[in-house]
A and B are shown apart, each in its own frame.
Chain A
Amino acid sequence: MAKHADLSIDFLGFKCENPFFLSSSPVSSSYDMCSRFLEAGGGGVFYKTLTTTIPEECSPRFDAQRKEATPFISFKNMEQTSDKPYQDNLDMMKKLKEDYPNKLIIGSIMGMDEDDWEQMAKDVTATGVDMIELNFSCPQMTYEGMGSDVGANLDLIDTYVKAARRGSNLPLIAKMTPNIEKMEPPAEAAIKAGAQAISTVNTIKAITGLDFDKYTSLPVVNGKSSISGLSGKAAKPIALRFITNLAQDMNLQGIPLSGIGGIETWEDAAEFLMVGASNVQFTTSIMQYGYRIVEDMISGLSIYLAEKGFDKLEDFVGIALKNIIPADDLERDFKVLPQIDYDKCVGCARCYVSCMDGAHQAIEWDNEKRKPTIMEDTCVGCQLCLQVCPVYDCITPGKVLFKEADQFGKGSLSEWKEDASNKRDIAVGTYEWIR
């Protein structure tokens, strides 16, 4: 075996074997399901959210968004909380903790009112699980004052966290909704009221597609449908920005974050860790591919970290935060010209089309030779061409040109000069793929 880094990491005083958890959802809705994930190597589970009464569900309840032939670009669900009797769930959680003492087992609850939150917290604590997640964020609850309504309401957050705190002495994790512009205020409110950590995102209110005969959104439930929660790969960029916001918030320093949203690969997970999550949770990828994908998360991340020389996973958490800065602080005195490797170019002209119609008309196209040429003066260095080129490693960032400073110290648009002594650190997503 190659060298693998140790992936263990602390979460609220619990030493987790690795940072990979099931998020609360159908994938974690019974003893048997959770145990199969834990046997596959997972570090722990957030058990499916309990409510004291079983909600009524609709059928069908899912839709998956495709792009070309790729299924599950995103995924929409109209499901609510656990469909199993309350006491059965408590029994299964108890058995999970007994059988897997070294794995992190977390109960998830959603109350209807203060008393309900307090009683559920008490009941879940009695099962012996390690922590409780407070679900403030399900966007498709059919009861007023539940789900994501709570996560957008600072008073309700305060009331319900305090109620749960009265019912339990376990660490509390508030699961926040992304259906909001700024997540810092509700997160701060939850911490102030007595929660110890924040997890996010839950699903994003959305419509994935419409039916062309029945004239409603998908899935169609007897002629009608609803806006409901979106998850999966397309949710990742949104989730990453929320985690980054929380991690950079001065009032939340030292508060552990659990990252959720579109995680399929070890790279996805590593991205959440880099912006400050100390562990990650996932559902949609499991629904699509099964528990086995955690094997590649463990293998991929541990090989990567070993190669990068990280002794402990903690050192990796938040490593990108200092480099994610406000847009107005970015350096804007240079441009990077794309560079075409003509040995690889297949002459499709996709770069030309995109630059013509979506950028700055900076590529000259020789139709005879089927050859694109970048015009250095007109090119602004946006690298759209690099992103659309279908050939691996064909267009890469090339020469860096600097703006000539005018008498005010500002760059003038027309003069660009090379400066060999001045290095710029550039990367664009698609050309460096192997790690």
Chain B
Amino acid sequence: MSSSISVGVKEGIVLKPEQGYMEETVPPYTPFMAMEEASRCLLCYNPLCSEGCPAGTNPGDFIRAIRFKNFKGAAEIIRSNNILGGVCARVCPYEKTCEEACARSGIDHPIHIGRLQRFVTDLEKTTNFQALDPPPATKEKIAMIGSGPASLSAAATLAMKGYKVTIFEEKEKAGGVLSYGIVPSRLPQYVVDEEIEHVTDLGVEIKVNVKVGRDVTLDALKEQGFKAFFIGAGMQVSAVFDVPGSDLDGVTTALDYLASARSGNGKADIGRHVVVIGGGDVALDCATTARLLDAEKVTVLYRRTREEAPANRLELTHCESLGINFLYTFSPQEFVGEKGKLIAVKAVGTRDNSLLQIEADKVIFAIGQKPEDITKVAAGIGLDKRGFVVTGDKGKTSIPGIFVAGDVASGSTKTVVHSVQGGKIAAESIDEYLTKGGKQ
């Protein structure tokens, strides 16, 4: 719980002063509020919002279901199209997907599709509603490498077709970035756990603490009877660049920083004066984490301008409202240390010769991620020059019987909803492959 934050604004909502790291920032809709919002929906014909959702969650239909008091039918629409509907409701970049397309913008502002989706998926739990009824698992065994959104989505799609699906996850908890990356104030762990339960309820088995390629090989899995494989390994390596002083105590990467905060339920070495390097969503999550966990001063350094920053606008404004400082067109030049510990960051202007020095005991690289060496999982698999798995039509890789989607796939859009979409498509491809008796 933070005491230093007196104000913060998100989606036009002024946050409670006690808003903390573990608590979801945006409050849930009550049924009255949901109906009020659904009543703003124009109930468009062939609605653009539905076209705007990469995963085919079909907001046009589920908002209409809400409007006509068919709340559970709405849950069925969401869950049968997007097994991570409750996650997407919280972390989707709506401004670039469904809400961007919303026709209501022509009158005032888009329907809050994400919050409506959250209302409906929350209701599944409060009413004990089972939206999906899987068939018995009578078909082939399929292995998923990694338990992030891509694998979870592919696994659910395959389970609904009657396949026996096992997910292998090297970490202690399933969920990938959902459990180890995104800030709980946007995506609480209980939501992730419940969404994963929706997948295991379909009969999908999850084996944690197993790294494929290290603890078990693909060949061994083939011997155990697995007939097809899906790689949803994501990007596990944080990118860094050479800055003098990078070996100082206090210099860290986004993935490590976020994971330690999340796994420690907020109890971690957060830093007092924190500098984040980067201008994307990951950088904002690091900054929010630091701020909500009571770092005194948080500064984000980004080499381009605010307009050019790829970060979600809503999150960016939210961060600003939390009192996080943003310094645009600056890049780190040197990390200054004392007795092996970081004490300051020197930065230089990228578009002029400005110089500045910021006191800091923590600096975080949040400038991108890349995959681990996937040939250790599947020897000989085609990779592009940055290490992403070369992805053909419908999630096919260079090796028949091995499929891919999500962040690790070449050319994919690196978001949860695109990973869900990729997983669904790859699952169809796997079904086709196995139905044809293992021919591609």
In the complex, the answer to whether B31 meets A434 with C-beta atoms within 8 Å is yes
Shortest CB distance A412–B (Å): 39
- Least CB separation from B75: chain A residue: A2
- Least CB separation from A292: chain B residue: B64
In the complex, the answer to whether A434 meets B73 with C-beta atoms within 8 Å is no
Query: In the complex, what residues of B have CB within 8 A of residue A289's CB?
Result: 43
Given the contacts A1-B132, A2-B133, A296 and B126 also touching, CB distance less than 8 Å: no
Query: In the complex, what residues of B have CB within 8 A of residue A299's CB?
Result: 65, 70, 73, 76
7 A–B pairs (Cβ distance < 8 Å), ordered by A: A2-B72, A2-B130, A265-B69, A296-B68, A300-B65, A303-B72, A435-B71
- Least CB separation from A3: chain B residue: B133
In the complex, the answer to whether A300 meets B68 with C-beta atoms within 8 Å is yes
Total count of chain B residues near the partner, CB < 8 A: 26
- Least CB separation from B40: chain A residue: A69
Q: Which of A1-31 contact B (CB under 8 A)?
A: 1-3
Bound-state Cα–Cα, A433 to B38, Å:
15
From B33, B126, B133, A1 is in contact (CB under 8 Å) with B133
Interface flag for B333 (CB, 8 Å): no
Bound-state Cα–Cα, A1 to B75, Å:
10
Interface flag for B131 (CB, 8 Å): yes
Q: Which residues of B contact A (CB under 8 A)?
A: 30-33, 39, 43, 45, 64-65, 68-73, 75-76, 80, 123, 126-127, 129-133
In the complex, the answer to whether A2 meets B68 with C-beta atoms within 8 Å is no
Q: Which residues of A contact B (CB under 8 A)?
A: 1-3, 70, 264-267, 289-290, 292-293, 296-297, 299-300, 303-304, 390-393, 433-435
In the complex, the answer to whether B76 meets A303 with C-beta atoms within 8 Å is yes
In the complex, the answer to whether B64 meets A266 with C-beta atoms within 8 Å is no
Shortest CB distance A346–B (Å): 12
- Least CB separation from A394: chain B residue: B30
Shortest CB distance B434–A (Å): 23
Query: In the complex, what residues of A have CB within 8 A of residue B129's CB?
Result: 2
Given the contacts A2-B129, A2-B131, A392 and B31 also touching, CB distance less than 8 Å: yes
In the complex, the answer to whether B70 meets A434 with C-beta atoms within 8 Å is no
Given the contacts A296-B64, A434-B127, A267 and B32 also touching, CB distance less than 8 Å: no
Given the contacts A1-B132, A1-B133, A433 and B31 also touching, CB distance less than 8 Å: yes
Bound-state Cα–Cα, A169 to B252, Å:
87
From A265, A297, A303, A393, B30 is in contact (CB under 8 Å) with A393
Bound-state Cα–Cα, A183 to B69, Å:
31
- Least CB separation from B77: chain A residue: A299
- Least CB separation from A293: chain B residue: B68
Bound-state Cα–Cα, A393 to B126, Å:
15
- Least CB separation from B65: chain A residue: A296
Query: In the complex, what residues of B have CB within 8 A of residue A435's CB?
Result: 71-72
- Least CB separation from A303: chain B residue: B72
In the complex, the answer to whether A264 meets B68 with C-beta atoms within 8 Å is yes
Q: A3-B133, A289-B43 are in contact. List 5 more A-B contacts (CB 8 A).
A: A2-B76, A3-B130, A300-B72, A391-B30, A392-B33
Query: In the complex, what residues of A have CB within 8 A of residue B75's CB?
Result: 2
Query: In the complex, what residues of B have CB within 8 A of residue A70's CB?
Result: 39
